[in-house]
Structure 1
Amino acid sequence: MVQPISTRQGIMAAARPQGRVASMIAWGAAGISALVVLGAAALWFHYGTAVFFEMIAAGISACF
């Protein structure tokens, strides 16, 4: 006779993982990413394209 693959207790225990924490982390990362993009757009409009790219290049070269 065919036996069940898992018991009812195993199904009930694995029904709801901690999705709320993962959702909060994802929303936080999305919010920070949006702030970074808005900051870059603000610098672009304030300084212009040439100065903006020079600032980015200087920042990258300062890291290395």
Structure 2
Amino acid sequence: MALAWPRNWPYLNPMVQPISTQHRMIAATGPQGRVASAIVWSAAGLGALAVFGAAALWFHYGTAVFFEMIAAGISACF
């Protein structure tokens, strides 16, 4: 069975266009790549800050008090 009848070619012709050039694709993804990179770096920075904060609490209060503070914080949220 044919994809389209011969009288339907005007409908299919706009769909059969070449893919855009490499130059046009690079220009379209440039700013999006920078925004995505900034988001990833910000998330990594916040994650590192949380890990360093947890380590600081661990060293300051000790393991028992640290785990008690974490348990109290979780129970306060729920």
> Which range, TM-score by smaller chain?
0.7 to 0.9
The 4+ residue runs of structure 1 with deviation greater than 3 A are none
Which one has the bigger helix percentage?
2
Q: Flag structure 1 segments of 5+ consecutive residues without an equivalent.
A: none
**Structural RMSD (CA):** 1.8
Mark the structure with the bigger radius of gyration. 2
Give the 3-state SS of the residue equivalent to 2:26 in structure 1: coil
Could you tell me the TM-score, scaled by structure 1's length?
0.81
Q: What is the TM-score of this pair, normalised by structure 2?
A: 0.67
Greater relative contact order, per chain length (Cα 8 Å cut-off, separation 6+): 1
Identity percentage of aligned residues: 68
How many residues were matched structurally?
59
